[in-house]
Amino acid sequence: MNTAFGAVVTAETSLREMSAHPQRRKIGLIKRFVVADRSMEPTLTDGQGLIAIRSTVIRRGQLRVVQHPERPNFWIVKRLGNRVDQHRWMLTADNADFGQDSRHFGPVDLSDSWRVVLKIPLRWM
């Protein structure tokens, strides 16, 4: 797997809905990902698992999984930088020595992105 473009992740999709209790919110689509390079170290490490959800709450500094803008069906995980317009944001790598980020491919549309909500410890993978 080519990892020159950032933290490559693989995904498996499943649907999950919380109990029917009226005060609980439904969770939409959830995806599991596995980090496959070092561009997000020390935050994320190679082989570490991630759980991400669909979320319209977008804030600077969040970890987001998006499709690479130049490579269809190639997932990357990056930290949100500055907002460019309504849907496009700059993405940054925590470890710029490995991989690429928006300095290489420009702002990215987040309308089809996933917000990382859980980092699975490497020892559990």
Residue 25 phi/psi, 5° resolution? -85, 150
Using CA atoms, how far apart are residues 64 and 112, in angstroms rounded to an integer? 10
Contact between 77 and 64 (Cβ < 8 Å): yes
The tokens for 39 are 């561009």
Task: Give the start-to-end residue ranges of the domains of the chain.
Answer: 7-16+26-122
Q: What percent of the chain has pLDDT over 90?
A: 57
What's the pLDDT at 125? Answer: 74
What's the pLDDT at 16? Answer: 35
* Residue ranges of the chain whose pLDDT lies below 50: 1-5, 11-24
| Domain 7-16+26-122 homologous superfamily, CATH | Umud Fragment, subunit A (2.10.109.10)
What's the pLDDT at 7? Answer: 57
Total-model pTM: 0.76
